[in-house]
Amino acid sequence: MLANEKKETACGFLLRAVEWFSTQRIVVERILPDNRSAYRSHLHRQTCAEMGIRHSRTRPHRQRTNGKAERFIQPLNQRWAYGAIYVSRAERTGALSSWLRFCNHYRSHAFLNRQTSASRLAWLLGNNILASHNEASSPGGQGAPPGRRSGLLGQQGVDGPGHLGRVRLH
């Protein structure tokens, strides 16, 4: 969790996220954050431009984009933030990494053909070691074809928070 929602913090997070994705051979091409002030700032726009990232904005009250974010946040709120009793905020924050690990590695998603996020990413990368706990590590249960890939992590045009959207792998 970030310490605050200031533009400098948001830009720092974006830089760390892009760096982490690059270690996974993923090039971030575009982002679609919410419309909070940190993401509307000149600093955020400049940071995206310097990294060659297309920064789109969500339209207010638009179900197509806002609904995806809400659908991602719903189980997070129901099961992690408010679904358990925590003694302190620090305890709740400490439980977040376990929840995210569960969501990414063990919880299947309908929009990913009942795959986990990690197994779908592993399939896109051509590395089924990450997906070894899944019976079907790729769409149709077939092995991943070799070579470079580009594609959507979900079946829909997923660009919202919680989804990687279109990725280019190298």
The string of pLDDT tens digits covering residues 91-123 is 998 998 898 888 889 988 887 888 998 888 888
Residue 147 has pLDDT above 70, yes or no: no
Regarding the domain delimited by 1-57, which CATH topology (the fold level of the hierarchy) does it fall under? Nucleotidyltransferase; domain 5 (3.30.420)
pLDDT in tens, 50-92: 999 999 888 777 777 777 677 778 888 888 888 889 999 899 9
- What global pTM score does this model have? 0.64
- pLDDT (0 to 100) of residue 146: 36
CATH 3.30.420.10-classified regions of the chain: 1-57
pLDDT score for 168: 54
- Average pLDDT of the segment spanning 124-136: 54
pLDDT of residue 126: 78
**Whole-number Å distance between alpha carbons of 89 and 86:** 7
Q: Which of 42-46, 78-82, 134-138, 161-165 has the highest mean pLDDT?
A: 42-46
The DSSP 8-state label assigned to residue 109 in this structure reads: B
- Is 17 or 75 the better-scoring residue by pLDDT? 17
Q: Is residue 28 predicted with pLDDT exceeding 90?
A: yes
Spatial separation of the C-alpha atoms in residues 52 and 67, rounded to whole Å: 27
What pLDDT sits at residue 10? Answer: 94
Q: Is the pLDDT of residue 7 over 90?
A: yes
Q: What is the pLDDT of residue 71?
A: 76
Q: DSSP assignment, residue 163?
A: S
Give me the sign of the Cα torsion angle 31, 96, 134, 68: negative
Q: Where are the beta strands (DSSP E) in the chain?
A: 26-28, 30-31, 54-55, 150-152, 166-169
Mean pLDDT estimate for the chain:
75
Q: What is the mean pLDDT of residues 125-153?
A: 43
Residue owning tokens 């795959």: 115
